[in-house]
Amino acid sequence: MISLALILVCATLTCGQEEEVDHDHAHHSGNPLDWLRDSVPGEPGVDYPIFNEVQDTAFSCEDRVFGGYYADPGMGCQGYHVCLNHGNNARKLSFLCPNGTIFQQSKLTCEWWFNVDCTEAQSSYNVNDLIGTGDSLPESNDLGPKRPIPTRNNDNVNPNRRSRK
Ligand SMILES: *[C@@H]1O[C@H](CO)[C@@H](O)[C@H](O)[C@H]1NC(C)=O
């Protein structure tokens, strides 16, 4: 799961290109956080989380909607889970939003951290109740990035294209 999430993140941020760069030259900027500081308002790791892998948190998929998306406040909402419960078996797939973004529960998408209030995430978990009803999500027409559908869609978890000026 972790590697899948990283691949998705990499697809978004074109990490793949960086891997093709000669290693002698790949890290010339010294601090890997400089790129973030230059690209995203705020201090990485302080104003927004910069996890490099999904963390083990208290979040449980028990009694969640099948196929529902859940921001994890235990990861500052950078992490989110897709619950795939089957019978008594609570299963989850876990993902990270790209650095600088966190999961906007009300829209089920990664957005710039400064546009998301992670403390509101849990009170919006019920947005998942709309899954499978045919009703559209609130404000879904305003969505910049597509809703992430990690298992079936490469063009996902993409908060960057529209928000970046
Ligand atoms: C966020 O940045 C940190 C520090 O550069 C890095 O270790 C981590 O892998 C990044 N996380 C993601 C999801 O790209």
Q: Give yes or no for residue 32 CB within 6 A of ligand 1.
A: yes
Is 89 in a helix, a strand, or coil?
A: strand
- Tell me what pLDDT residue 5 has: 46
- What pLDDT, in 10s, does the model give residues 127-155? 999 877 777 766 544 444 444 444 444 44
Q: What tokens were used for 5?
A: 């999430």
- What pLDDT, in 10s, does the model give residues 62-86? 999 999 999 999 999 999 999 998 8
Q: Confirm whether 154 is domain-assigned.
A: no
Q: How many CB atoms lie within 10 A of CB 117?
A: 15
* 12 alpha carbon – ligand 1 mean position (Å): 13
Residue whose Cα lies nearest atom 1 of ligand 1: it is: 50
* 132 alpha carbon – ligand 1 mean position (Å): 34
Range of the domain at 92: 62-133
- Tell me what pLDDT residue 9 has: 45
Q: Confirm whether 22 is domain-assigned.
A: no
- What pLDDT, in 10s, does the model give residues 24-38? 445 455 788 999 999
Q: Confirm whether 53 is domain-assigned.
A: no
